[in-house]
A and B are shown apart, each in its own frame.
Chain A
Amino acid sequence: MSDTTKRTLLEVKGLTMDFGGLRAVDSIDLTVSEGEIAALIGPNGAGKTTFFNCVTGIYTPTDGDILIHPKDKPTRRVNGSKPNMVTTLGMARTFQNIRLFPDMTVLENVMIGRHCRTKTGLTGAILRGKAARKEEQEIVESSYTLLEKVGLGEFANEYSKNLPYGAQRRLEIARAMATEPFLLLLDEPAAGMNPQETADLDALICRIRDVEKIAILLIEHDMKLVMNISDTIHVMEYGKKIATGTPQQIKDNPKVIEAYLGEETEA
């Protein structure tokens, strides 16, 4: 599998986002291809999460193009699309500060993810016809399968607020996967995890790419994890992209060392 044969899934061109006078993201270009794990790194406040928010429709970018190329469907520009549209089109995300639905069970959290792929309406829900019951059964089963995949099967009926921290992060991933995305955007999935949990996460992310065939774009501060699993790394600083390359290239890039790794050694 050489790079040329891979289909591009997400193509961002010249993305810019201003907050008042502050330019949080400054003409960023970035692509993610099929079967790829891409990482977006950079010091705190570099504009990574803002970039995510623009791509997933939570913010409307000031300038630039966000194009997605879903399989078997025409290319679409998603600037300013509502977040739910973006998710329906096939890009799902997790959040930096976990945003689960605390008073719903673990299973129900995942079932929410199935929402945009199912269609029982009000009448269906009230009458509970055959089609509605079948779909409900399908939702429960597929959600449970996903839970098992992230290793949370036994907690299915717990309230999500009662899960340990690491499990909550994994649940967020399962919930995002339930929307059947072709690209998964993970915002600091390893934050707050202990080494063992991080190692599990490492394996999980790779499994998602390899088994589920979902490409991944992730923001992460844990360099070990990033270097381990990424195919491509993009580095941001002060809203600008300063480097792109394989882990090895990034490690050797003097600009990156100065901007990012340099800072870390000082810290």
Chain B
Amino acid sequence: MKRFNLLLVALVVCVSLASPALAADTIKLGVAGPHSGDLAPYGIPAMKAAQLVVKKINANGGVLGKQVELLIQDDQCKPEIATNTATKLVTQGADVVLGHICSGATKAALGIYKDAKIPVMSPSATNPGLTQSGDYPNFYRTIASDDMQAKLAVNFAIDKLGAKKVAVLHDKGDYGKGFAEFAKKFLDESSKVKVVLFEGITPGAMDYSSIVQKIRRAKADVLIFGGYHPEASKLVAQMKRKRMKTAFLSDDGVKDVSFIKVAGAAAEGAYMTGPRDLSSIPLNAAATAEFKAAYGEDPGAFFKEGYSAALALLNAIQKAGSTDYAAVTKALQTQYVDTPVGKIKFDGKGDAEGVGFSVYQVKGGKFVELK
């Protein structure tokens, strides 16, 4: 009999764990992304952005007269966990979701939000298919997609750098390989340049000396790299050590202060694409100042995109007058909103109009926008 009692206790515990918090009358903003583990630096700034926005809006009376409640869920950037977190957010009654961060996790989770009719806005998922495939009508983002970046990078390489031979490398990852494949496609379309090398490097490998030698042998004058800053800083450092003059051109994943910190002098002169410089937008400066005041350090990756997404989502609910899916969708697509990434609204596919990329160069240890 004792055993059955035990079972009963277990049951009760489970039930109490499971029963959702008593639903108060609030607007629920879900936030999902990697908040633990090695990818946390990409997810936490957006989460903090959402907290700042919500705090401010609640202090000003909330949305539609209701307080905004944050539901924060960690997906570790893993697709299988993302589906669980998505389900959790749906069962907790999220009205809109800010997230996810990684494209893979976003793709996995979107189906669930789609069925539940919840608009989702990512500050960072740049995979072109997310908007262009038409599979995810409920998806929006405050960042431009990879193919735009690749197009810009390729045009820059051809027109400004006068590239004749280009080597294209990637880190075999979702983001990097996607970018590199687009770059290769656009390069192949142009008759002025030749792709002399297209290869994946192994992230985390001890060194890249063979591949660097290979670039040198191919006599490439520009190297386009798709990937993140750790590999990029290894590559530029080794290229410098081999006394190579090949120009280094990369993507937004590299446009991170860590790249300059880690690669140091070797980073000088490197080019990368990144979201347009927004420091002239007053809201951007204000948001950054807000973050600094709250946490005492510079905001990290995807902070302003996250801030913008939170503003855009809540603004759409305000404008729509309800959390109804159709109304919010309409508001997102028709109403302009002022955000740190500019005055934006969203097109029918979910990409933000008015968000774009520029090319940057590292000069004197800083990213300088090239006009």
Direct interface between A and B, CB < 8 A: no
